Amino acid sequence: MLQELSEEKIKELASIYDVIDTFVSLYLDVTHDIDWKFITHRENQCNSVLKADKALLNAFQNNMERIKTSIKKDIKGDIAKNKYRGIALFISEPMNYFVALGFPHKIANSLTVDTSPYIRPLAQLIDEWEHYALILINNNEAKLYTISLGAITDRKRLVAHIMNKHKKGGWSQMRFQRLRREAIDQFQKKVVEALEKFIEKEKIVGLVLAGPGEAKLHFKKELPQRLEKIILKVLDYQMDLPDEKLVEAATLEVAKKEQEKSAEAVQLLRNEILRGGEVVYGISETVRATREGKAELLILSKELKPRGWICEYCQIVELGAKKTCPYCNNKTSEVDVLEEILEFAERAGTNIEFVGDNPMLEELGGVGALLRY
């Protein structure tokens, strides 16, 4: 059975590791079913490399049997419901650990064997597709949605019966308009209450406000300051716009905001360096800061994949290659150093910002962090 992707699950994955390469991390794009050809190809490659070490080979083969059995018996049914477009499986039979995650977003196929789960693709997904609320509103109807990883995870519809025309021979026009305005205001207050419950229920980081005409702008004025502060964009759309079109438009705006936030993070890193503030940059200094739990905000390039080594006994990570740890003489493992930085950061509750093509960050070594102290 597939579990939903969450920040808590990523932290769990970041906290578990073995001293040898017993973990298999499998990511699959399941938009068009399971790619068994890819799985078989990577399995054969890993078998060839691991056959010199019988213990590791046995662990790997047991892991793969568990993965294939789970996909065929349990996960395939979840995928058939078209709820998920990507899945990730993490297993170490020697550590008695198995987790299967599903998410409504495509992901590149990969299979990794390492001392710990490979979490970088998940951390990047969480950063790029932040959890936000979307509300489509006019004077007598409101549709509320929560959006996670670019897909609707919850929804609610509210309707009020508000007269749009003045009755002949009845109330004066002025009194009618006042009562109508009061009815609309009461409706919008109910929507605000419902929206606040949405915000409290989920870890919402932003709000997209949409609707036709002036109603959404009147509603914006009704919002308490704490909600008004998280508005990402105000969009002009009709109430009958299909859900998928609405989410697509809103998510595009959220993606633009995420790009702006990434650029602002790099600029903040630059400014702190110039001021001599509490900041580090470059691989070595950032490894040390995240390992010691000092980083408040980790800023890293999406494309950078420096190779290095880790000693799982003393948790030392450095660039280059070493077969044994110079500090404790135990065997080391080859690693993606940014993956290790990410794991340290997740364990310490550090905020993480992935950055696309950015010459300034590249000049700083592709990674840096603002420090807590």
pLDDT in tens, 266-280: 999 999 999 999 999
Q: Mean pLDDT, to the nearest integer, of 112-117?
A: 94
Instruction: Give tens-digit pLDDT for 213-272.
Output: 888 998 898 898 888 888 988 999 999 888 888 888 888 888 888 889 999 999 999 999
Tokens 């109508």, residue located: 180
Q: Distance (Å, rounded) from C-alpha 116 to C-alpha 114?
A: 5
DSSP tally for the chain: helices H, then strands E: 12, 17
Q: Please state, for a pLDDT cut of 70, what percent of the chain lies above it.
A: 97
Distances (CA, A) of 94 to 13, 70, 89, 97, 122: 16, 17, 16, 8, 23
Q: Which is nearest to 69 in space by CA: 39, 111, 105, 29?
A: 39
- At 288 the pLDDT is 94
Q: Distance (Å, rounded) from C-alpha 288 to C-alpha 359?
A: 24
128-258: which CATH topology? Nucleotidyltransferase; domain 5 (3.30.420)
Q: Which residues contact 182 (CB under 8 A, 6 or more apart)?
A: none
Q: Mean pLDDT, to the nearest integer, of 115-130?
A: 90
- At 90 the pLDDT is 98
Structure tokens at 36: 């068994």
Q: Which residues contact 270 (CB under 8 A, 6 or more apart)?
A: 360, 364
Q: Distance (Å, rounded) from C-alpha 254 to C-alpha 100?
A: 28
Q: Whole-model pTM?
A: 0.82
In this structure, whether the domain defined by 1-118 belongs to CATH 3.40.640.10 is answered with no
Domain boundaries, the chain: 1-118, 128-258, 278-373
47 vs 192, more confident: 47
Instruction: Give tens-digit pLDDT for 131-190.
Output: 888 999 988 889 988 888 777 877 888 887 766 655 555 557 777 777 777 888 888 888
Q: Mean pLDDT, to the nearest integer, of 312-324?
A: 90
* 213, amino acid identity: G
At residue 84, φ and ψ (nearest 5 deg) are -120, 140
- At 166 the pLDDT is 54
195 vs 70, more confident: 70
Instruction: Give tens-digit pLDDT for 70-87.
Output: 999 989 888 877 778 899
Tokens 């070493």, residue located: 322
Is it the case that residue 306 has pLDDT exceeding 60? yes
- At 163 the pLDDT is 62
Contact present, 22 and 316 (Cβ < 8 Å): no
Q: Quick one: pLDDT band at residue 92, thresholds 50, 70, 90?
A: very high
Centre a 10 Å sphere on the Cβ of residue 125 and count the other Cβ atoms it contains.
19
Strand partners, 336: 307
- At 168 the pLDDT is 52
- Top-level class of domain 278-373: alpha beta
30 vs 161, more confident: 30
- At 148 the pLDDT is 80
At residue 48, φ and ψ (nearest 5 deg) are -65, -40
Contact present, 299 and 353 (Cβ < 8 Å): yes
